[in-house]
Every structure is written in structure tokens, then in C-alpha cells.
Chains A and B, each alone.
Chain A
Amino acid sequence: MKKNFLTFAVVLATASFVAAQDSIKTVLLDDVVVTGQYEPQSVKKSVYQVRTITYDRIRSRGATDILSVLRTELGMRFSNDLTLGTSDVSLMGMGGQNVKILLDGVPLLDRGATRESINQIDINTIERIEIVEGPMSVIYGTDALAGVINIISKKYDDKKVTIEARIQEETAGKEYALLDGRGVHNESVGVTWRGKTWNAAGTVTRNDFGGWQGSFRRRKKEWNVKDQWLGAGSVGFDHDDLTASYRLNYVNEAITAAGDININTNVATDKVYRINRYMHMAQADGNINERLSFAGVASYQDYSRRTQTTTIDMTTGERRLTIGAGEQDEAKFSSAMVRGMFLYKPSERFSWQPGFDINLTNGTGERIDGDRSIADYAFFVTSEIKAWRSVSIRPGLRFNYNSVYDAPPAIPSLNTKLSLARSLDLRLAYAYGFRAPALRELYFSFHDASHDIDGNPALKAEYSNSFSGSLAWQAFTTPLLRIQTTLGGFYNTFHNQIVIATVNDPGQPTGKLSRYDNVYRSRTLGSTLENTFAWNAFTATLGFSYIGVADPLKAENGSLDILWSPEVNTVLSHRFKRAKMSASLFYKFTGKRSNYELATVDNVSATRLAAQESFHFADASLIKKITPNLELIGGVKNIFNITTLQNSSANSGGAHSTGSAVPMSYGRSYFFALNFQFTH
């Protein structure tokens, strides 16, 4: 099958290559953003401080997933669960459940707190990524406490037919096999057709990671094998004042954990997690008259995750399902959402944006008590007032009703932008953020020898008060020289944080009941400084951040002690016009991260400070345009050869992370890719 696909891809690419006429154009969007905007808007005009990662940058990194693009962004950190083969993101010191992941404005469904959905998007369909720090709860509702990552898919405006193909081969550390097996293999073909009023597109991508054996021997791997098939298809309509589209994204993912052979029986046990994700999305935008326009999106997502355990008899080669408790399992989640927004502009200085947002979520299986549903209804309104030419004020208010828990009745926000000078913009914002209790927190159910954990239908939403400000200075904005500096700061307080609290309960078999409860307060604060310098064909960015997070253990005792961690990042790139080449270097320093822990050392239980070591991470790449349609990319990822980080915790070594070393990556890797693009 894989071979067929490859052959097909190569034939298609070659055929199109011969017929090539147009040249690859770098799509320069001039930093236009859409997240939280009434309509696409330049970053400078936006009342939100938005960071964008452009298509160019995604492409030049040779990225095969979104995580590797975000890896060197300020305020972004990742953790990896090697047992399950998943990664989670944290933003501005807050864990994944506080980060809202959107695909074209539609929240992605995740089964738990871990944002594994972020790596279940085809990187080859992405135009850019927008990151907004701070809650955007008025428009996007729950979960956006730390911020929003909005992934924007490619639109291919003004092209009639576009064919894109990519083949990328990458090592996993020193492990590699051509096209299949060890290493990373990404192949993709996409076709877009755009007629006068109708348009259609389709992409299919194979994204395989052969795992990483590392120090393990025989069949076992430190990083599990992950094979993905990603497909997308869309049909769109664009006529006069109405744009409408339907899009289906499909993901088939299999994470395989191969087990060692039991030499007593010559049998090995393998575990496969099979994920099927369908995301249907319908969008419509239109103008009713000059003053009134609307934008609506509806989505239905269907997610299933199967745990399949099998034994393989190495003598006979026969594979059989196992019969132990919990070894075959399936969890199913689905969500439906509709969001509609109207934009009414009575005058140039004033606009209204009323909207509604309905989210229905359903879950069953794996540790969910029964078949459960949550319905969330919201009405919101924002308005943009250009009080003076230099001042924009954007107040917002959201009203929520939820079928299960007591949603915060009203959620306010206020964003302001002051143009202090032509090149100096000050943004100040207050927002009330909230995170609704997730289905699993309401209806969790897990009981075994040493656990009695239940959900809690009486949970309240977590909420936050968030204050942020930024000062952006465009010192030079000429085509030859561009210097920009943005200084930002934020302060957030969090209340009613949901954690698992354990109380003695003699009614339980273990005598203890652990239950999700609203317990903690927390706070985060920090500052970022981002600089861009561009001279001719050379561009450099340099960023610093210093972010503090209240320690969870101390917070448990009511004290919000802040633990700080610094970050530095830079991107250097240069375009060699003559050679039709460009070179880029991406680098980030991630500071030591500390936390208090209750540990028993030499039979004495005490609170001590543990820390995860700091590390440097860097990627470098070269892009060379061979023909107008074909470019070649090669590079090195993880130049500092990071595999694991030392953690000084005395307690580490839980069921899902082994030893005191925290897995970060699988070492220095090399990649090589061919990108083909044909437009007609």
C-alpha cells in the first residue's frame, strides 16, 4: 500500500513537473491575522497582541508536525508521555488543558487534558499558526485561560489549479531506514482547483515515525512507533457576497508499543493505540449589506481511540488478541459546535459584533462513567470603538448556560489599543477567563486495587482574571531595513483550579476516595521582549521571556510562591538571491524549571525543591530552489542532541515516565525533503 502511494506520488510529481509553467511564489501575507478579529486584519491594527508563524517558517523547518514548529517559540514547553506516545503543550506556564487549540477557529476535540490533537493535523495543509496569549473567553469560550493557538489552513486564493507534493525523509537520532520503518517519513500530495464560483481541494499525507530504540534492545523502543494517515478534502463556493465551504479532515493514527519477547514462551506482547478522527467543518461568510455582515462555522468531530493488545508467537508468527482485563478497549468522543457572528458597522468609528456559540460534547468508554453528554450555550457581544484616531477600545461580554455545571453567568473582557505615535502602539487588556470542567472531570470513574477515583458533577468552572499589556515599537519599516521591538507583560490569577483531591471515605474499597474538586488558586506573571531586525536579505529575531508560575504544592497550602524560569529564542535567516537559496537557524534556550515536592528521603518526609535542568534546542536548514517548481530542503534538527533532561525530583519514576530523566527528544536528526509545487 505504502509503495503504491509512493509510486503514485512520484508519477504525479514528475508529470506535473514536466508541465510546469509557473514558479513557486512565496506567499507573503504581510502578517495578516484572523484570530479574534472581525475580519482579516494586519497585526499592527489588531487590538490583540498576536504572534504568527508563517508558512515560510513552517516549510523551512522541514516540520512534520506542529509541535516541532512551536518547539522554539517563547512560552511554549512540551512534555512527552512515552508510554502512550503522546505529547502535551504548555503555554505561558499553564498546562495543555488551559490552551485552546483551534483549526480555522474551530476548537479541536481532545479526550483528556493532554492536547494530543495538535499533532493530529496535517502540517502540509497549514498556512500559518497564530498564537494569542491570554484568555479569549468571550469569543472562544472555555479552555483559553493561557491562550489560543489558532491553526490556519491553506486557502490558495487566485490560483486555478495547484498541485503540491512533498517527500521528506528524516532520521530519528542515528536511526534511519529509507522510506519506511526507522526514522520519520512524510509524503504528501495535494490538489486544489478553483473555478469562478466553485472550488475544491484534496490532500493525502502519510506521516510515519518509526520510533526510536535508543538504549533499548531487541523489539522495544524508547519512543513508540507512530504512523499517521491524514486526509483532507474540501468543496467551496464563492460568489459575490457569499463564501461557503465544507471541509473534512480525517486522521488515522496508530501508535505501536512493541514488547519484549518472553523467552519462556517465545511470545511478545504488543500494544497499539488506534485513533480515528473525523472533523467535518462548514463555514459561511457573507455581506448582507454594506453595514452588516456575518460569519458562521459549524463542525462535527468524531473521535475514537482503541487500545488493542496482541501477542505474537515468535515461533509460529501467529498474532492473537489478548484477553486480560482492560487490554482491549475503546473510547469514543464526539462534539458538535456552531458559532455565528454578525458584524454591524453603523459608522467607521463604531462596530458591533453579536454572536452565539453552541457546543455539545459526548463521551463514552475508558474510565468514563456511562455515556455522557454536555451542552453549552453562549451568547456574546463585542464592540469596537475607535474613540479617537489613536485609540481603539474593544469591550466584550459573554453569557453562558451549561447543561451540567454552573457556568460563570457573565464573562467580560476589555481590550484597548493606543497609538502613542505612528510607530508606537500600546495595548492594555483585561479578560476574565474560564475553563469549564471537562467531561472526564465530571464523569470520571476508575476503581482498582489502589485507586478509587471519581468525577464530580458538582464542579464549578475554573476562572481567571488576566491583565496584560504590550508596547510595540516599529523603529524602521522600510523595505530595506525593518526593526521592531515588542515588550509585553502579564499577570493572571486563577481560581477554583480543578485537581484530584483525596479524602478518606470508608465506603470505598480502598477506604479513600479521590475526586476532582475545585481546590487551588494559582497565579502566573511574566514578561516577554521580542525583537525583529531585518536588513536586506537577512532577518533576525531575538526574544526573551521570564515567566513565573505559582507552585502547585505551595498553592495547596495557600501560599502563591512564584517559581521563575527564563527563555531565550532566536531565528536567523538569510536569503541568497543568486544561489536561490536561503539558510535558517532556529534556537531556543529553556531555563531550569523548578517545583516543590513532598518527598521521602532517608525515611524523612519533607518539602523540597526539585528542578528539571535547562537545555538548548536548535534546528538549522537550507532551502535551495532547483527549478521554479521544485525546491530541496535539508537540515539538522536538535543540534544540541537533547534526549532526556535530568530531573532532581526524589519522586520521579512514576508509571508514565521512567527514571529521573524526563524524555524530551530522540537526539540530533537530519532531514532532507523535496517540495514540488505546480500552479496553473
Chain B
Amino acid sequence: MRTINRYANFAWVATIFTVLFVSGCQENDPPLPDSIANFEASTLGMGDDTGEIDINLILTRAVGEEVTIVITFATDGLVYGDHFTTIPAAIDNSLQVDIPGGSNQAAFKVVRNAQAFLDGDEKITFAISTVTSPATPGDVTEVQLSFSPILSAGGEMTLNGLIGSEPGSSAGNSVFVDFSSNVQKAVARTSWDLGFFNGEDFRVIINNMSGASVIAVDKTDISDVSAADINPADLAIGLGEGHLGLIDGVAGDINDTAIPVIAAADGDNKVYVINRVGGTGATSEASAFEKIRLLRNGDHYTLQYARLNETTFNILEINKSGNGNFTYVSFDNGPVAVEPTGSKWDIQWGWSIYSTENLPYGFSDLVFINHLSGTTAAEVLTSTVSYEDFDVQDISRVTFSGDRDVIGSNWRITSPPASAGVKTDRFYVIRDANGNVYKLMFVNFHGNDGGVRGNPKIKYALVQAGA
């Protein structure tokens, strides 16, 4: 009997321990963030030169199932079908947009009827009517589309840096942002190889967004150049490899390109070999290198190009269009659209080859301004004036700079990881090519500051409209 009692006592103690123990170890996961559906911007404009516009719908978090959003619209001075249409088509001023499962955005198009004569003061107001579960409507459920360029008063924007599941530190897109029109344009960084300057000089840039590098071969016949003419390792840049002569000047000075100005006399233009994607201290295989020769053709350019070991080559004529800073060319696809034309962008965000300690070095999240179109910018420390308080009177106290990298990587910390985040002690003021002054704050950009690497969130507001 005593023994049984002992067993019983032990069992009692053991049970208590077990209960305490198990209850001490319960873990309840917090929920995932809500998936909220918003328009990307609350005001958008279509100038006379714009035939169609994408209106983006964003989910704050992608969900597994397809999300269907029903949008209704009201027009002011416009008739659907006569003056404009939408893709997908609308019925009774209502259209449906599906965001596929796993995706966090979708868009519909508004297409201007080319025959329609408009004054420019016409408007359409789109509104999110219903959103299917689990997504819910958010704060920006209306967007007003004007049929003339707008001057945005400000907004918030999450940049579409990621193409797929690539790490945010090497986000595949470069994103151009135009504050005044509330528009961002994401371009795959490796979608182009050469940019032909549309200004006065005959200058060609290589792709700094992909970490391309270039060396000259002392030959003028492109067919005569092969892997035997170069040492592939000489093209390696980044992580201590290479030198700044292999890339275009990181300050964006058009007179400081790696390929010198194209000479008028063809005999003076050498063959160049390009490693198309780099920046990690190594190169692609030599057979993936491209050889090029650049010539003038009156007021235009002629490009000869081929894979390094090919004996035949392609020829492409590139006109100086005067439309935008550069005309872009891909060795795979010929002419391609990259940066928005002219002054239709203010800042560019993304990975780029840059320099540190006088060596080429790849930087994530670099922000460049549209310096070639005349955009200028300045950094303001919140110890002088806060983002919220900064207004017209403060503009005169700011010294604007036309350096492309005036924002650069100064706005964020990446290392050590536990300290990574946007620098909250500063913001930026940007005077765009049209003289509009915006203030710009980086809200977050990294898992450590509540953001997502590759999808930085920015906030901007108009301080002063241009003359």
C-alpha cells in the first residue's frame, strides 16, 4: 500500500510538472499582415502625348488565392466608348481586375480615343467597389485620372524592385520615379546593354545597373577579335577586383564614359569587349562576352556587335532622337525602352555598380537623380527641420546639387544587419527639371526596419510648384 501511495504521489507531481511545462511552452504565431487593396496613386494624369495609362492596384501582401477587385467609375465631360475605353472593358461604368494568386499587383489600362477632341479638363474618378476575401479595401480606394498632366501634391509609393523571388539586395529591377505624375516605372536591370547619348557628343554608356565592364582591344576589325585578344579576368570588377577605368564614371558625368567619345574617323574607333553582367569580382564565360565597334554615321551612330567568338557581326543604326537622355540597345533585342523620356522621371532606385575606396563596387538600393535633365537635390537633416515642417520658406536654406549620387546610398544603413534600416535623421528635397520642389522621405526598405528589401517605401510631398 505504501508503495502504491508513493507511485501515486510521484504521478501527481509528474502530472503537475507536465501541465506546467506544456503550458509554459505554448507558442501562438501572430497573424500575417492584412492584405489590403489600394490604388497605387490617388491622382494620375494623361497629357496629350499619352495615349494610354496603366492604373495600378496594389495588395499590401500577396495571398494564395486570386483576388478580384470590382472598380466603378464616374466621368466628368467624357463618355466611355466615345472618348476613352478601358482594358479590360467596362460594362455600365464598372470593370473587374483580377490579381492572380501569389501576386501583389495588377493593372487596368485607360486608352484615349485618338479621334476624340478633349479640352484637358476632363476627368474620370475610379473607385474600388468590392474586393474578394481575404483581401480588404484600404485607404486609397479612389483615383482621379485627369486628361492633362497633373502636378501631384504628394503620396506614398512602394517601389517594384523585385521581379520574382530574387533576394532584395540584388533586386532585378531598376525603378524610375516621377513625383509630379505619381508614376513609377520598373525596368529589368539586365534588359539593356548600351545607351546612346542623345546630346551633343557621340558618347555611349555601358550598363551600370547590371555591373557591365568594358575593355578596348587594339584592333579596328570586329571580325578579327576573339577570346584570344583578351584576358577575361581583366574584366572582373567588384569585391576588390578591377578598376574604375572599366566602367563609366560613377558620378554620371557624360564626359567620363569608359568608352571614349566616338571619333569622326572610323579608323580611330577600336573594338571593345563587354562583360554584360558583373560586379561580383568575377565575369561570365568569355564566350558570353560581347564585342562591339561604334562608329559615327553623320549625326547618328552605327553599332557593330557580335558574341566574342563569332566571325560575323550585326549592324544597328541608332538615330539621335533628341527624345530622352539616351537611346537604349540590347544585344539580344535591339532597341529597347529603359528610362522614361526626358524629364519624366526624377529619381532612379536600384542596384548599380558604384565605387568605394576608388574601386568598382556593386551597391544595392542606390538612388540617382535625373541629373542630365537638370534635376537637383539636397539632403536635409531633421536636426535642422523636420520632414513635416519643411515648407517653401526652407527651400532657400537648402543647397541643391546636380551630382547624380547626391542621394546615393546615404539614406540607408545595411550593416550590421541588426542596425539595418532607413536613416530616420534625414530626408531629401528634390527640384525636378520643371522647377517643382518635392520633399522625399524613405519610409522603410529592409526587413529590419519593417519593410521589405527590394520594395522600398517612399513618401513625398510637393513643397513648391515650378514656375
Contact = CB atoms under 8 A, between A and B. Distances in A.
Contact of B30 (A320, A605, A658): A320
Contacts, number: 157
A259 B30 contact: no
A615 interface: no
B313 interface: no
A222 to B, nearest CB: 10
A162 B46 CA distance: 84
Interface in B114-167: 165, 167
A78 interface: no
A22 interface: no
Contacts of B23: 1
A28 interface: no
Contacts of A265: 443-444, 450
A220 interface: yes
Nearest to A224: B418
Interface string B1-43: 0010010001001101100110111010111110000000000
B169 A449 contact: yes
Given A220-B418, A324-B453, A603 B358 contact: yes
Contact of A448 (B14, B20, B169): B169
A323 interface: yes
Interface in A131-163: none
B450 A267 contact: yes
Contacts of B169: 448-450
Given A220-B418, A229-B25, A308-B29, A259 B278 contact: no
A191 B447 contact: no
B316 interface: no
Interface in B397-427: 415-419, 421-422, 424
Contact of A233 (B14, B233, B443, B444): B14
B14 A511 contact: no
A506 B443 contact: no
A415 B325 CA distance: 79
Interface residues of B, number: 63
Contacts of A5: 20, 24
A191 B29 contact: no
B239 A450 contact: yes
A324 B447 contact: yes
B20 A655 contact: no
A268 B446 CA distance: 11
Interface stretch (B194-202, B252-260, B279-287, B370-378): B279-287
A202 B167 contact: no
Most chain B CB within 10 A, of A4, A309, A449, A505, is at A449
Interface residues of A, number: 60
Contact of B415 (A220, A510, A655): A655
Given A202-B13, A321-B33, A450-B280, A195 B416 contact: no
B147 to A, nearest CB: 35
B364 interface: yes
B280 A262 contact: no
A325 interface: yes
Interface string B432-454: 00000000011110011111110
Contact of B170 (A264, A311, A449): A449
A635 B433 CA distance: 69
B282 A512 contact: yes
A4 B418 CA distance: 34
B240 interface: yes
Contacts of A269: 447-450
Given A229-B25, A323-B61, A504-B282, A83 B417 contact: yes
A311 B446 CA distance: 12
B168 interface: yes
A510 B282 contact: yes
Interface in A609-658: 653, 655-656, 658
A204 interface: yes
A599 to B, nearest CB: 11
A519 to B, nearest CB: 20
Contact of A600 (B30, B233, B240, B416): B240
Given A5-B20, A202-B13, A321-B30, A252 B25 contact: yes
Interface string A87-129: 0000000000000000000000000000000000000000000
15 contacts: A193-B6, A195-B6, A259-B418, A259-B448, A259-B449, A264-B424, A265-B450, A311-B33, A321-B30, A321-B33, A322-B33, A323-B33, A324-B447, A505-B282, A512-B281
Interface of A: 1-2, 4-5, 8, 83, 189, 191, 193, 195, 200, 202, 204, 206, 220, 229, 231, 233, 250, 252, 257, 259-260, 262-265, 267-269, 274, 308-311, 319-325, 327, 448-450, 504-507, 510-512, 600, 603, 605, 653, 655-656, 658
Instruction: Give the 4 A-B residue pairs with the shortest CB-CB distance, closest first.
Output: A511-B282, A449-B170, A506-B285, A267-B450
